[in-house]
Amino acid sequence: MSASGTPAIEVRGLTKRFGQLVAVDAIDLVVNRGDVIGFLGPNGAGKTTTIRMLLGLIRADAGTARVFGQDPWRDPVEALRSVAGFVEAPTFYDYLTGRMNLELLAGLDGGEGRTRIDGVLDTVGLIGREGDRVRGYSHGMKQRLGVAATLLRDPDLVILDEPTTGLDPPAMRDMRALVRRLADTGRTVLLSSHQMNEVEEICSRVAIIRNGAIVFDGGLAELTERGARPTVLLSTGEPHRATVVAGDIDGLEAKSGDGPGELLLSGEQLALDRLTVALGREGIPIRAFVPERMSLERAFFRLLDDGASLDSAATAASAATPERSAKANDADEHEGARP
């Protein structure tokens, strides 16, 4: 094991090309021990390709990737000794039971994990179902079994690629709680996701990748406050009249809120102050007038200059670079992958 001061992950100028496509474009990223970082980006942005390079599954074309100071391609055994996780959906032998799959994986990893099987099954909530064949597991149960497999070696670094993809809401809630518990143990966690609320619940830092380039790397608060104008939630019995009044004030933007009679108002503080005076003058009742914190999702779309959805962000990326998404998602099928 490398010295304790060595970052868990250190990437410098990391680049991966597939033909003419630059899937990952000279990115720099440092993840210190104990960090819980969300790795965000639209589909096809380069998240999974980056993770595959970190796990030594494909070779970088340029730059360096170090995991606990070691090169995961040249020396995967040493680099990944204290690393575990999965890329996209974990796979198992469906004719074996959950426990048998874990026993097999522990044996392939030297056998030390066998003593941890009961504990990890309990951690992921599969006690009582570990004797069932995996073919009878729901998708959420298979995802939890994947996390159990991840914990067999008691890793210092956990890398999870879209762990809640395809889960129904209850299973998604359970998976998020499980990842939070992992983070609370002091492990380093790299969580790749396009679920904003998931990252907001779990992570204290985010790195955002688009078109293969890191466009933001910093704390959640820094991102949500970056360039934001003050926003307040107005609740009133006369939202239509309030919208008309707000429209007459320079520098003030009004949008409908989620609830009845609610408006989201963005503008400089002076404009907001003028609005309260104008509402009083017009006799429009104010039930509530409270500051509204910008969500990670709104900050994300503002940063990418695409406010509709992650899919529309992916579409914009594909329009800028034809066939980007399809090729990036098929990265493991291209050259440079380990057999």
User: Are the folds of 9-224 and 229-291 the same?
Assistant: no
The C-alpha R_g of the chain, in whole angstroms, comes to: 23
Written as one string, the DSSP assignment of 165-229 is: TT--HHHHHHHHHHHHHHHHTT-EEEEEES-HHHHHHH-SEEEEEETTEEEEEEEHHHHHHTTPP
198: nearest Cα among 221, 223, 222, 165: 165
- Name which residue leads in pLDDT, 186 or 50: 50
Written as one string, the DSSP assignment of 34-56 is: T-EEEEE--TTSSHHHHHHHHTT
The class level of CATH for 9-224 reads alpha beta
- Name which residue leads in pLDDT, 165 or 107: 107
Alpha-carbon span 232 to 239, nearest angstrom = 14
Predicted local confidence at residue 335, as pLDDT: 41
Q: Which tens digit of pLDDT belongs to each residue from 80-109?
A: 989 988 887 789 999 999 999 999 999 988
> pLDDT band for position 324 (50/70/90)?
very low
How would CATH label the architecture of 229-291? Answer: 2-Layer Sandwich (3.30)
- What residue spans define the domains of the chain? 9-224, 229-291
Average pLDDT of the segment spanning 28-47: 93
Q: How far is CA 201 from CA 33, 36, 175, 221, 240, in A?
A: 20, 11, 12, 13, 34
318: nearest Cα among 233, 241, 194, 210: 210
What letter does residue 107 receive in the DSSP assignment?
H
Written as one string, the DSSP assignment of 316-330 is: HHHHHSTTHHHHHHT
Q: Which tens digit of pLDDT belongs to each residue from 173-198?
A: 888 888 888 888 889 999 998 788 88
* Structural contact between residues 279 and 224, judged by C-beta atoms closer than 8 angstroms: no
